[in-house]
Structure 1
């Protein structure tokens, strides 16, 4: 059987819509965070509270202290979505203008100034691998990763074209305790929590 390119694209779009509907139906019904990537649905099992949430809250507050009043470092809903690419993501923190947040439905990822992710213990490749592919693809210019497993992180920026699609050209690594620059704002990473050893309480 031959499938025309248009038929394949329509089929992929319908599959994405079905996955998106499933993800949205799980909101607050199942634990963890569900997102749609180029490779399908990904699930992060995150404990409520703990180092993951505390890190996101610290980063959000420190960024907002440094930013002008017309911007915020948002760590709530909604998702960012690029329907044409079949990607639905939910950054732990996104730097965005108040005006661009004031929309119905999902956020246009191209209005996001920077996305911040705190690496989950259950699925670190989602943050370190999949999102470094997805975020430049949907036009998020700066992506910062904080990893409570190791007390390290990285800021990725400067989207450029590659044979595999848009990718970040610049990566600046940091260790907890250093100052880190995310887009135009520099914040401290002092005092950010770390995950406890496996088997102990926490994320």
Structure 2
């Protein structure tokens, strides 16, 4: 049993009875509730990648998009663009997956999320031991994979893959390959 399951508050608790508007991504960063509309490039990358990942998981894990994940913090509540859930992972007493259930997180960067994706989420995911963190960046047409998390909030390894090349996700005992040639570039 983890601390989240034995009574540690979740950042999401503050939104328990909130009526949130549809079409907005809601996350909690440094104790602040942040609502942003999903950008066009995010909307196009997420289903393209999710369908490829789901097909390859074939019942050995699950893929979620923009779903609340319980992290060990009352100040940070993230709902990753894509989260790969480990095979056999179970929901906690709140009915949500917790950070230790994640094999990989994929975030699609936008002008409004860059600071969070490249700094705050990077640090949180590494501190939580998320094995693989991928940032898809339509502005420069790359996917950056971060692996071997450290407890000091960094990842020991990094690899950049340009759009058009296959994005390889090394998971526990298997490998997922995502074709990126359909990912849109943000040429603003």
TM-score normalized by structure 1? 0.73
Deviations 1:62-102, CA, capped at 9 Å, x for gaps: 1123224222222253x111235743210111111464255
5 Å-filtered alignment, 1:1-203, equals 20-24=12-16, 28-29=20-21, 32-37=24-29, 39-41=30-32, 43=34, 45-47=36-38, 50-77=40-67, 79-84=68-73, 86-97=75-86, 99-100=88-89, 102=91, 104-161=94-151, 165-183=152-170, 184-195=175-186, 197=188
Structure 1 residue 58 displacement after superposition:
0.8
Aligned residues: 177
Going from structure 1 to structure 2, the CA distance change for 1:97 and 1:33 (only over 3 Å counts) comes to same
Task: Say what the alpha-carbon RMSD is for the aligned residues.
Answer: 2.8
Unaligned runs of 5+ in 1: 1-13, 198-203
SS of residue paired to 2:96: coil
Q: Is the 8 A contact 2:70 2:99 kept in 1?
A: yes
Q: Is the 8 A contact 1:34 1:41 kept in 2?
A: no
Deviations 1:26-57, CA, capped at 9 Å, x for gaps: 563376323234x3326252346x22112011
Q: Is the 8 A contact 1:44 1:123 kept in 2?
A: no
Q: Which has the larger radius of gyration?
A: 1
Going from structure 1 to structure 2, the CA distance change for 1:74 and 1:189 (only over 3 Å counts) comes to same
Q: C-alpha separation between the residues in 2 aligned to 1:90 and 1:171?
A: 23
Going from structure 1 to structure 2, the CA distance change for 1:139 and 1:160 (only over 3 Å counts) comes to closer
Whichever structure has more helix as a proportion of its residues is 1
SS of residue paired to 1:145: strand
Q: Is the 8 A contact 2:48 2:182 kept in 1?
A: no
Going from structure 1 to structure 2, the CA distance change for 1:68 and 1:47 (only over 3 Å counts) comes to closer
Unaligned runs of 5+ in 2: 1-7
Q: Which has the larger displacement, 22-31 or 50-59?
A: 22-31
Q: C-alpha separation between the residues in 2 aligned to 1:157 and 1:21?
A: 30
